[in-house]
Structure 1
Amino acid sequence: MPTEVTALSTDSVLGGKLTLRQMMSGHRVGHDALLLAAFAPADRRMAVDLGTGVGSAGLAFLARVPDARATLVEIDPTLAALAAGNVALNGFETRAQVVTADVATLGRPAGPDMPGKGAADLVLTNPPFNADARHRTSPDEARARAHMADADLLAQWVRAADRCLGAKGVLCLIHRPDALADILAALAKGFGAVEILPVHPRPDRPAVRLLVRAVKGRRTPPVLLPGLVLASADGAPTPEAEAVLRHAGALR
C-alpha cells in the first residue's frame, strides 16, 4: 500500500548543496543515503538508485558529480512522487528520472523500459532490513525468519543490480555489519573486487554500517578498507565525516 502522506518538511543536506522534501513522520533521510552516495566512484555517468525513497542517495550523487545522470526507482507511489518533486526542486529535471516499479521487475521483459538492461555503470542501493522482526515473541524463531527474509531480499536486489549494470559496472550498497556473510554470498555470483568500509559512530564503538563496493564481472578477492568514524569520543563530528556529510566529499 502507498505510504500515507503526512506533514512535509523541506530540509537542506550536504551543506545546502541538496534540498529534500520529505515527510515529518516515519523514515527520514539520514547518514546512510549520504554515505552511500559519497562511496560511489565519481567517474560513473549513468546511475540507478534502487529503492530511492524521496531520492536522497541518487540526488546526493548528482549533487557531487555534476555531469552524471540517474534513474531513481521506488515501488511506493507516494515516495516516488516526493522523489520526482525533489528532482525538480534541485533543478535536476534533465539529469534524473523517477520510475515507480518493483526492483524485482527491472531488466526483465515485463518490467519497466527504464532503467534498461545493462544500461547503467553504477547502481546505488540501501536495501531494506527487517530489523523489527528480530524483536517478536519467540526471539530465536523470529530472528531466523528475519535473517532468511533479509538474505533473500538482499540477493534479489543484487540480482536486479546485475541486470541493470553493463560490463564492469559498479554496485555500491550500505547494510548492517551482521549481514556481511549474506552480502558476500549475494555478490559472489556476479561481482568481485569487493571493497568493504566499516562505519563507526565513535572511535571506541563497533561499526554500525558497512559500505560495500563491487565490480560486475570481476573475480578479485575482497578487501577491508580503513573505517570511517563519524564522531570523536566527546561526540563532535570528525573532520572526515564533516567532509562527506557537510561538504559533499568523496569516500575513497
Structure 2
Amino acid sequence: MSVARCSLLVLSEDSAEGAHETLVALAKNIFRLVDSSYDWQRVRFEPPEGEGVRKALRGNLWKSREPRDYRARLDLIGYIATKLLEGDRAFVLYHIDGDRPWTEREASENVAKFRSFIETDVRQFVEHRRLQGGRASAGELALSQLLLLVPYYSIEAWLFQNTRAGARFCAENAACRGKHVPLFQAWANDRGALDEVVKPKNQVCFKGSHNRQLAEGLDVEAVYYAGKSLHHAVESLHQNAALLAALAATRPPA
C-alpha cells in the first residue's frame, strides 16, 4: 500500500447517500488537471466524522445565523480549523453549489458568504489555536489550504457532462425509456450548456442516483475546455502553491 504524502478532508453540502464517494472520485480527476503526474493513491481522502459535523454540512447550514444551528455550526468550524492546523500537506476540500447559472454567477451569494465564513469564523478559531500554541504567524498559510469547488448551478452541471454514461442510464430506466437521451446528446455537442441549466438534476429521469459512476468516468479535460465553472475551479487550484507542492510530493520517484 502506498504511503500518503498529503491528506484532504472532503466536505460537501450534498448530504445524499454516496455524496462523499462522488466528490472524492471527482477530486481525483480534477487534480489530474492540476498535476498530471500526481499519484492519487498517495493522497488520503478523509470523510467527515461526527453527527454535529454531518448535521452542519447539510445544505447551507454553514451560513446559518439561527440560534438552533449554533452548536452544529461551531462543530464544523472547529473541525475545519483542526484539519488546517495539521501541517502544510493537510487540506480541506469543500464543495458548495453556486445555485445560479454560470452567466448569473455574480448574483450568487454563496461564494461571498463562504469567504466571509472562512475569513471570520474559521480564521478566528485558527488564530486562537495558533496563539495558544505559540505559532500565531502561521495562520494565513493554514487558511490557504482550504480548497473550494463551486459548480454552477450545481454539481450535476459537472457530473452530467459524462454524457455517454448519462444517456445509457436514461435508456436503461424503465420509466423513462430513453426520453432524455437527446438532451444528453445536446449537452455533449455544447459542453458549456450545462452550466446554464437551473437545477440540472431535475431535468433527467435518474436525478442524482448515478452520481458516483458519472464522476468516476468523467472526462474532466473536455469540461475544463468549455471555459466555465470547472475551468474556473481548476484555475483557482493552479494558483495554490501549497496544493501544487503537496501534489508534486505524491509523484513516483524518477
Q: Which has the higher strand share?
A: 1
Does the alignment reach a TM-score above 0.5? no
Q: TM-score, length-normalised on structure 1?
A: 0.33
Q: TM-score, length-normalised on structure 2?
A: 0.33
Task: Point out which structure has higher relative CO (alpha carbons under 8 A, 6+ apart).
Answer: 2
The structure with more radius of gyration: 2
